[in-house]
Amino acid sequence: MKKTNADPTVIPDDLLIEILRRLPVKSLCRFRCVSTLWRSLISDPRFLAAHLAHSATRPRLLVTLPVQQVPCPQGRWLFSADHPESGRDRPQIAEPHLLVHGSPGRYVSQSLNGLICLEVGGLIIVCNPSTRKLVTLGQSKARSGRGCSYCRHSFGFDPVGKEHKVFETWVSDSGKPDRGLIMNQFVLTLGSSGWRGIEGGPPHLKHDPEFCFNGVIYYIAWKSLVAIPRVEYLVALDVRTESFRMIVSPSGVQVDMSKRRLLEFEGRVALVDCYNLRSDDEIAIWILEDFDREIWKKKVVVLPPCWKEIVVDHEMFPAGIVRQTGELLFEPWVLSKPMCLFYYNLKTNSFRISEIGGFPECESGMPPEMYGLTFTDHMESLLPPMSHSSKNIANHFPSG
């Protein structure tokens, strides 16, 4: 019987896109080598946006771990793990992405559209952990004055212009009581040619981790290095207009920076204060009701009696919020193996614990705040860390 050659089955492009956008970045990077057609499809800005939109429905946990011990090379490891599903006690295994070589600095931003900004070896690096691509930005080569200067960085995303920006601020004390701080500010838009100066911001020194929400970077800062007591301010840096605004932080918030965290709460900027967590079994949440009128609303949450049974002897401090579930994420004060994280659901007033393994050897018995361990919600993305095509890709992002 004579054989006939049947035409191979062809998957329609729309169905192929629907299948591929559900896959992890690691698989998509390999599938680019299947054919010229697949490479073109996976590299298309519209596909990158569709993949990112799907990733937003299942964010992961990004963990950065500094390495400073011999014989390991210095650097900062980037890992990711799934957030644990409620009702499952199975330990999570962290997936290593890459080691950024160099002396690890203290600055690590939150993940924005799959990109993070961090300081390593005295340089500023923008990185996509999922694709393992990074670019070194360097510094603006400017200082704010003579003597000791402090350099601070911030990383934000403008949902209107679809641009990622890195801000660099140099601050020094003028040495004169009537002048206060001297500050020079610079910004670099990813995909642009380099740093440029910006003006008009009130002099201040950032000292808490930032939080970018709806195109505005928020952080706590001081206006003086010598005033006692130091008054704390909430700074709002608009990523699009590159302008700063400042209001006084809510009175009553404790000065212990390790026990508080800026985050989104019920669609608003909020400051979570866990200073009385161990003694009074409560969390204070300061919600910013009106920035222009400087109105803060305090909400006190009393934890369930079972929470001490779950955390046992762990001292905890807030690490952020899980976007998908709205749970508060707490880090342990002392590193342990396996690493333990705690999830608190405000709606159900319930706690759960997650164990994460797979990390390299690290010095135990130290607070993560001192050690430099960081956690952030993370969406997998194919977005390149810096190129002139980045804005074209970002133009297809959702505005959220």
User: For the chain, which domains are there?
Assistant: 13-57 (no CATH), 58-378 (2.120.10.30)
| pLDDT (0 to 100) of residue 183 | 86
CA dihedral 126, 128, 132, 136 (to 10 degrees): -10
Q: Comparing 142 with 119, which gets the higher pLDDT?
A: 119
End-to-end Cα separation, the chain, in angstroms: 61
Confidence of residue 282 (pLDDT cuts 50, 70, 90): confident
| pLDDT (0 to 100) of residue 375 | 86
380 alpha-carbon distance from chain centroid = 13
Mean pLDDT of the chain: 82
Helix, strand, coil abundance in the chain, percent, nearest 5: 15, 40, 45
Query: Which tokens hold the place of 317?
Result: 């401090």
Residue 214: C-alpha distances to residues 62, 198, 297 (Å): 21, 21, 20
Helix (H, G, I), strand (E, B) or coil at 201: coil
Largest CA distance in the chain: 100
At 344-397, the pLDDT tens digits run 888 888 888 888 887 776 555 444 444 577 888 899 999 999 754 445 555 555
Q: What's the pTM value of the predicted model, to 2 decimals?
A: 0.87
Helix (H, G, I), strand (E, B) or coil at 113: coil
CB contact at 8 A, 229 and 271: no
| pLDDT (0 to 100) of residue 218 | 96
Q: Shortest CA distance to 332 belongs to which of 363, 360, 365? A: 365
Mean pLDDT computed over 17-42: 89
C-alpha angle 187-382-328 in degrees, rounded to nearest 5: 75
Polymer length of the chain: 400
pLDDT > 90 fraction of the chain, expressed in percent and rounded: 31
Confidence of residue 98 (pLDDT cuts 50, 70, 90): confident
| pLDDT (0 to 100) of residue 389 | 45
At 219-246, the pLDDT tens digits run 999 887 766 667 889 999 999 999 999 9
**Looking at the predicted structure, is the pLDDT value of residue 89 above 70?**
no
**Looking at the predicted structure, is the pLDDT value of residue 136 above 50?**
yes
